[in-house]
Structure 1
Amino acid sequence: MSLRPDLAIIADHVEPGARVLDIGCGDGALMAALRDGRRVDARGLEIDSANVSAAIARGLSVVQGDADVDLAGYPDKSFDYAILSQTLQTARNPHLVLDQLLRIGERAFVSFPNFAHWRVRASLLWGGRMPVTNVLPERWYDTPNIHHVTIDDFRALLKERRIAVEGAWFLNRGRPTSSAAANFRAEHAVFLLKR
Structure 2
Amino acid sequence: MSATARPPEGAASLPRGGGRAATGGSSTIASVRPDLARIASWIAPQSRVLDLGCGDGSLLAYLAEQHEVSGVGVEIDDQRVITCVQRGVNVIQQNLEAGLALFDDCQFDTVVLSQTLQAMHHTEHILREMVRVGREGIVSFPNFGYWKHGFSILGGRMPVNGNLPYQWYDTPNIHLCTLQDFERLAASLGLRVLERATFFEEREIDFLPQWRSTLAVYRFAAPGC
TM-score normalised by the chain length of structure 1: 0.95
Give the SS at the match of 1:71: coil
- Residue identity matched to 1:192: R
**Per-residue Cα deviation, 1:66-121 (whole angstroms, up to 9, x for no partner):** 22213122100000000000010111101100000000100011111111111211
From 181, 187, 192, give the equivalent of 2:208. 181
Other-structure match for 1:28: 57
Q: Percent identity?
A: 40
Q: CA deviation at 1:141?
A: 2.1
**What are structure 1's unaligned runs of at least 5 residues?**
none
Give the SS at the match of 2:193: strand
Give the SS at the match of 1:184: helix
**What are structure 2's unaligned runs of at least 5 residues?**
1-29
- The answer as to 2:163 corresponding to 1:135 is yes
Runs of 4 or more above 3 Å deviation: none
- The answer as to 2:173 corresponding to 1:145 is yes
Alignment partners' CA distance in 2, 1:83 and 1:75:
16
Alignment partners' CA distance in 1, 2:160 and 2:65:
34
* Matched length: 193
Other-structure match for 1:159: 187
- Residue identity matched to 2:190: R
- Residue identity matched to 1:107: E
Other-structure match for 2:45: 16
Q: CA deviation at 1:48?
A: 1.2
- Residue identity matched to 1:194: A
TM-score normalised by the chain length of structure 2: 0.83
